[in-house]
Amino acid sequence: MTTDLEQVPFVATGFIDNPENRCPCVLVLDTSGSMQGRPIEELNEGLAQFKRELLTDEMAAKRVEVGIVGFGPVQILHSFTTPDAFVPPTLVASGDTPMGAAITQAISMVEQRKSECRQFGIAYYRPWIFLITDGAPTDAWQEAAASLRQGQKEKKFQFFAVGVQGANMDILKQIAGPERSPLMLKGLQFRELFSWLSNSLSAKSRSQVGNEEVAVENPASPTGWATV
């Protein structure tokens, strides 16, 4: 004999327990061999800080959802979940840089999550896709870039690209398109980056759905973590 709870699809249980609006953000993280050493260590520290800071904001802790796609190889390292259940993975650097396939996977993830929200009557903010890379794509990326441009034009999601030292910024500019120029991380300031991201998502989660274009600190300001 099954209980009513057991008959509820797993994806619905989170919505039943927490019917708040959702603010999805998928991190697309370069875990290729060139990130080995301090870069991957600092990125792991940044992820841990990201969780801690999101949990300090009561509204963000209920509304922000974090997902992670790593590359290479391309793999979903974390499905969308709220900060309380988010367990930052320990990233290990290896392999090449299949950036195009990783972006395609991220787009698929946000579209699926939006579909799930609609299915269960949960309002959602426009998702963020946040790419961090220190290299250049080793796969065909042009189709993924076209999908990004089309998706942003149709306001399906917002895309952000951050290059770490060694990143091919010319290709990143082509991938990001005219909507938003990619940023270059100052040194290895991943913790500062994730602090900014946490604050930005917290502000977004407190806005009205459909009108969430909130003012955030310029990450490329003199005291920020990035340069243009």
Measured at the CA of 18, the angle between CA 16 and CA 20, to 5 degrees, comes to: 120
Q: What is the pTM of this model?
A: 0.93
Position 15 in a domain: no
CA distance 78 to 58: 22
Strands (E) in the chain, as ranges, are 23-30, 64-71, 75-81, 128-133, 158-163, 183-185, 226-227
Position 65 in a domain: yes
Residue 22, helix vs strand vs coil: strand
* Domain that includes residue 74, residue range: 32-84+100-211+219-227
Q: Please enumerate in sequence order all residues whose Cβ is within 8 A of that of 199, keeping only pairs 6 or more positions apart, or say none.
A: 53, 216, 217
Residue 2 has pLDDT above 60, yes or no: no
75-122 pLDDT tens trace: 999 999 999 999 999 999 999 999 999 999 999 999 999 999 999 999
Which pLDDT does position 178 carry in this prediction? 87
Position 92 in a domain: no
Position 189 in a domain: yes
| Tokens encoding 120 | 């269960």
| CATH classification of the domain holding 177 | 3.40.50.410
Q: Give the containing element (helix H, strand E) for 198.
A: helix 190-205
Residue 215 has pLDDT above 70, yes or no: no
* pLDDT bracket for residue 209 (50, 70, 90): confident
CA atoms within 13 A on the CB side of 97: 17
Amino acid at 28: V
Position 180 in a domain: yes
Torsion over CA: 127, 143, 78, 92 (sign): negative
Answer whether 125's CB lies under 8 Å from 209's CB. yes
CA distance 228 to 184: 6
Structural domain tally of the chain?
Answer: 1
DSSP class of residue 34? G
Which pLDDT does position 212 carry in this prediction? 60
Is it true that the peptide bond before 72 is cis, omega within 30 degrees of 0?
Answer: yes
Measured at the CA of 203, the angle between CA 197 and CA 204, to 5 degrees, comes to: 85
Nearest CA among 142, 66, 139, 146 for reference residue 109:
66
Position 171 in a domain: yes
155-176 pLDDT tens trace: 999 999 999 999 999 999 999 9
Q: Give the containing element (helix H, strand E) for 38.
A: helix 38-55
Nearest CA among 201, 219, 163 for reference residue 22:
201
Position 1 in a domain: no
Answer whether 25's CB lies under 8 Å from 64's CB. yes
Is it true that the peptide bond before 73 is cis, omega within 30 degrees of 0?
Answer: yes
Which pLDDT does position 8 carry in this prediction? 39
Which pLDDT does position 227 carry in this prediction? 94
Position 186 in a domain: yes
